[in-house]
Chain A
């Protein structure tokens, strides 16, 4: 009774919540509930029929899916190993610049690519890596190295993914680290200078330890999104000659689902990805809370 009375009193609040409620129900909850399609066969007319684990069995025994899973793991790992340390290094370097026009210039330039769409970045990188006169090959030729067609080379395309992602996000990712560095008390540096610590020693013994908790948080959060190897990026940089080495779970779902119309089978693949992703995110959330006191949300 009491509850009902309170709800009546707050009626206007519920009314204000209605548009959001309708939106989330239609565009989030229904598509999630409809992922039950993974256990069904899709029928254009009439009810879908339940088929249990059929699609999952096909999925796990399919060599194509195994390749895609492996690609996702390899690309994600490469990105974490090679990209993760760069913003840390960059923020240490930027921190050594005095607050002034030069520092402002470096920071403004470094954030810029973060705001470009992957379509634009793909356009820029395809030009940059052009075998005839792209900047990278011009530099290679200068050092007497032969031109390479990176975009169609199975050996190099994953590195293209790593470096283009680095180009796009390294600067932006310094923001949190620089915020952490700015909180360090200047007195520590003064004391270190008195004792004759070099710039490098100050970085090594003051700045780096002070930003460690931020570093750990960011690293753990990155692990949580491990299954997202970068759909937008791969979607825009892929071509037939390299598809086999950079096809990831998301692009696979797109291809077999939306291009080939195997809706149910593709939904099974994304449900698999979603569940693994969910476990990773929840797992990292709790680990992060334990270690650093900060969670994913």
Chain B
């Protein structure tokens, strides 16, 4: 038996407004990117449906070599970065999780120190300069190869693998490296997948280090191009890339809708992964909260 409750209805309505406050700005950007550029100026910020319909903005974007290049750069940085993150984090977590060795306490102490004290962006920059890594992909990939917080999460996960499993392997004569690659890694697939998402989202969204470390526009990731074009309103960056455009394409330029389309392109990979993210992140975070 369910009775009508005024309080419940008000709550449902308030939460509906909250969801609208998040969705309307997002849908508005999507609608602007899909509209006919000639009609975009008829639209207001509350419109969530495109006026007219056209893929022209995306055609312009995907005929822009700068954007294609930066998209590929972002993919490269995200994929190699995440693989390196996973390998190094897992390797280090294995040693710190399972075994007692001389100096372990000191290592953990230093790691906590690293977690709570951030270096200055100035000394980080000077380091990159001294290492000769400025203007290379390596500068953005390497500087956060292991996140200490994620390292601790993975450590805790490894500690939950039953000792008996590892003991059996040890009796069969397997060494640490073999146990790590053949037993621990395969058993930790869910944890590794979660971390891959964490690290992947991080790499995809990173722009600041790329902004200061990478000066060659050909090596910029997508977020940096997006920042130039959308936040700094630097249309030149955008126009540089579209020299080879046909007159029809040029005629249909509208910077507002082009900016929206660039935002959409930067968000799409995130949205494709979103179901996975919901499954892993939120569950993981909930479990984390319940643990203590």
Contacts and interface: CB of A to CB of B under 8 A. Distances in A.
Given A111-B282, A270-B120, A179 B289 contact: yes
A14 B101 contact: yes
A10 B101 contact: yes
Contact of A115 (B7, B227, B274): B274
A120 to B, nearest CB: 6
B191 interface: no
A205 interface: no
A127 B117 contact: no
A32 B282 CA distance: 33
A20 B15 contact: no
A27 B116 contact: no
Interface string B102-130: 10000100111011111111111111000
A32 B117 CA distance: 8
B234 to A, nearest CB: 13
B44 to A, nearest CB: 5
Contacts, number: 254
B158 interface: no
Contacts of A250: 121
Interface in A1-60: 3, 6-7, 10, 12-14, 16-17, 19-20, 23-24, 26-32, 34-35, 37
Interface string B2-37: 000101100110111011011111101100100000
B266 A127 contact: no
A271 interface: yes
A105 interface: yes
Given A23-B88, A27-B145, A133-B44, A257 B112 contact: no
Nearest to A217: B292
Interface stretch (B75-83, B161-169, B205-213, B237-245): B205-213
A267 interface: yes
Interface of B is mostly: helix
A123 B270 CA distance: 16
Given A106-B18, A263-B126, A270-B121, 11 more contacts: A20-B95, A20-B146, A24-B114, A109-B19, A116-B267, A134-B45, A176-B285, A257-B125, A267-B120, A270-B122, A297-B116
Nearest to A142: B46
Interface residues of B, number: 90
A207 B278 CA distance: 25
Interface in B250-292: 256, 259-260, 262-263, 266-267, 270, 274, 277-278, 281-282, 285-286, 289-290, 292
Please tell me the size bucket of the interface on A: 35 or more
Given A30-B127, A179-B286, A266-B122, A124 B102 contact: no
A127 B107 contact: no
Interface in A272-289: 274, 277-278, 281-282
B45 A117 contact: no
A96 interface: yes
Given A3-B102, A90-B18, A267-B123, A135 B45 contact: yes
A219 interface: no
B148 to A, nearest CB: 8
Interface string B56-99: 00000000000000000000000000000000100110110001
Contacts of A297: 112, 115-116, 152
A25 to B, nearest CB: 10
